[in-house]
Amino acid sequence: MRLRDSPAVRVGVSISVATGLYGISFGALSVTSGLDFWQTMALSLLLFSGGSQFAFIGVVGGGGSGVAAMSAATLLGMRNGIYGMQLNALLRPRGWRRFASAQVTIDESAATSTGQTDPDEQRRGFWAAGIGIYVLWNVFTAVGALAGSGLGDPRQWGLDGAAVAAFLALLWPRLKGREPAAIAVVCAVATVLAVPWVPPGVPILVAAVVAAVIGAVSHGRSNEGLEPDVDPYPESNETFRGGTA
């Protein structure tokens, strides 16, 4: 099959464009939060995890320490390790592809791959989304960083709160079920209550501890939690689960 005829590749490319463009906002917010151009690019080139990157600059922009910023980013990036275990069993990359696949394992590449039923399409979808987003995310991060350096004080534009708002916009639609939504609200309240009493960057760690405690004692249904950002073929997947595919 030619790549342009592959449904998984078409989905991967479309997701790459939509997600990559969002890198402009990250680049602009990063430099206006205090990072320089090369520090911003290092986050996108090496960390390459949108939610973790926004959390990092949110803590730094709020005056938090580097340790607090890294801790927040690490907590949010742990999901990629779970994706990696699933995709390693699914795609079985070998040699240099194992290192490359680890770098581009994110929500979108995992969802594009697991949304396919054909093994070849799973591989095509993963690499199309992963490589496409990696390239475009970094290109548009650079564009945003160069543009953002001329914006001045982020508080004049309201950008000091934009990183938090952007991350909430990414997270909230992915919550599945009432209990995860309730946990999110409880954690938000705990964060607000902690703000006056702890150093910048620590409130998000308080929220993580609260979520972990609730999760440890919770007996919610197994089908509740976080969904991937994108379900490429929702109708096809429902048909497949129903046994008619």
> Positive or negative, the Cα torsion across 215, 72, 131, 87?
negative
Predicted structure pTM score? 0.69
What is the crossing angle of helices 202-217 and 50-61, to 10°? 130
Residue type, 24: I
In percent, how much of the chain has pLDDT > 90?
19
pLDDT digits (tens, 9 = 90+) for 64-89: 788 888 887 887 788 788 888 888 88
DSSP string, 106-164: SHHHHHHHHT-SSHHHHHHHHHHHHHHHHHHHHHHHHHHHHHHTTS--HHHHTTTTHHH
Residue type, 155: R
Q: Is 201 left (phi over 0), alpha (psi -120 to 50) or beta?
A: left
pLDDT digits (tens, 9 = 90+) for 174-183: 556 677 777 7
**73 with 53: CB under 8 angstroms?**
yes
Report d(CA 16, CA 245) in Å as an integer.
Answer: 28
